Amino acid sequence: MAYKLGVDYLRLWKPYVFPSPITVFKTMLDLIADSTLGIAVLASAKRIVIGYAISILIGAIVGFAIVRFKTLDENLSPLILGLQTLPSICWLPFAILWYGLNESAIIFVIAIGSAFAVSIAIESGIKNVNPLYLRAAKTMGAGGLKVYWNVIIPASLPTVVSGLKQGWSFAWRALMAGEMLFATKGLGQVLMVGRDLADISQVVAVMIVIVVLGVTVDKLIFGRIEVNIRRRWGLDRA
C-alpha cells in the first residue's frame, strides 16, 4: 500500500530506490533457489553461535568474578560499563590487527560485543538476589557452591535471561557489521553485494531475512524461557 502510494501515484521515490514487494519476493526466491541465501544463513549462524557461546562464557566468568571479589568490582565495573557503550564495530580494526581478515576476527567482534552485556546482567542479577533467600538457604545447611547452584543462579535467572537476550541482539549487530565489511560469505556479505550491484531488492530481501531470523530466535529460545520463568514466579498475573 505504502509502496503503491509512494512510488506509483505520488512518485515520491524512484523504483530503484524503493523496490516493490513483488520484486523483493522474486529476488528472495532467486536467492533461495541458487542457494546463496542458504549458504549465507548457515555461515552467519555458525559465526554467531560460536561468537555468542564465547561471549556467554567470558561474560559469566567476568560477572561471577566481579561479584566474588570486591576489588575487581570497584575497579572493573565502571570500565565494563564504559566498554559496553562502545559499539562493537569499533573493535574491528583491533580484531583485524590481531587476527587478520578472517573468521576469528568476526567471531572476536561478536564475542566482545555481547560479553559485556552478559557480564553486567549476571552481576546485577546476582547482586539483586533477595538476601532472605540466602539466609534461608544458609540456615538449611547450604554452603559454598551449593548456594550458587541451588539458590543464586535460579534466583538471578530472570535478570540474567534479559541480559542474555540483550547480548544476543548485540551479537547479531556485531555479526552484520563484521560481515558487511570483509566477509566472503554470510548474510551481511549478500546484503553488501546487493548494494554494490545497486540491486535494492536484494538488500531489502536480506534485511527481511535478518529480521525474521532475529524474531524467530527470540520467540523460540528466549521467549520460551521467559514465559516459563514468569509462570513459575507468578509474574504474569499482574
Partner 1 sequence: MLSLLIEKVSKSFNSKQNSVQTLDNINLEFNKGEFICVLGPSGCGKSTLLNIIAGLEDATEGRVILNGHEVKGAGPDRVVMFQESALFPWLKVIDNVEFGMKMAGVPKDERHEKALKYLKMVHLSRFQNSYIHELSGGMKQRVALARALTLDSEILLMDEPFAALDSQTKGILQAELQQIWLETQKTIIFITHSVEEAVLLADRVIVMAANPGKVKKEFKIQLARPREPENVDLAYLAAGIMKELKEEVEKVAKAEFDNDWTVKKDSLLSDTDSNMGIGL
Residues that bind partner 1 (CB under 8 A): 132-133, 135-142, 146, 150-151, 154-155, 157, 229, 231-234, 237
Closest contact distance (angstroms) between CB of 231 and partner 1 is: 8
Pick between residue 153 and residue 193 the one whose CB is nearest to partner 1: 153
Cell numbers placing 12: 515520491
Cell numbers placing 32: 533461495
Closest contact distance (angstroms) between CB of 227 and partner 1 is: 14
Closest contact distance (angstroms) between CB of 8 and partner 1 is: 55
Closest contact distance (angstroms) between CB of 135 and partner 1 is: 6
Residues with Cβ within 8 Å of residue 81, at least 6 apart in sequence: 120
Pick between residue 3 and residue 222 the one whose CB is nearest to partner 1: 222
CA 42 centroid distance within chain: 16
Identify residue 107 by its one-letter amino acid code: I
Q: How many CB atoms lie within 10 A of CB 236?
A: 11
CA distances from 49 to 20, 46, 52, 111, 185 (A): 33, 5, 5, 10, 16
CA 103 centroid distance within chain: 18
Closest contact distance (angstroms) between CB of 235 and partner 1 is: 8
Q: From CA 179, how far away is CA 190, in angstroms rounded?
A: 9
Alpha helix (H) residue ranges in the chain: 2-3, 21-33, 36-68, 70-85, 92-99, 103-127, 131-139, 145-147, 153-182, 187-196, 200-217, 224-233
> Could you give the 3-state DSSP secondary structure of residue 10?
coil
Q: Which residue has the cell 568490582?
A: 73
Closest contact distance (angstroms) between CB of 142 and partner 1 is: 4
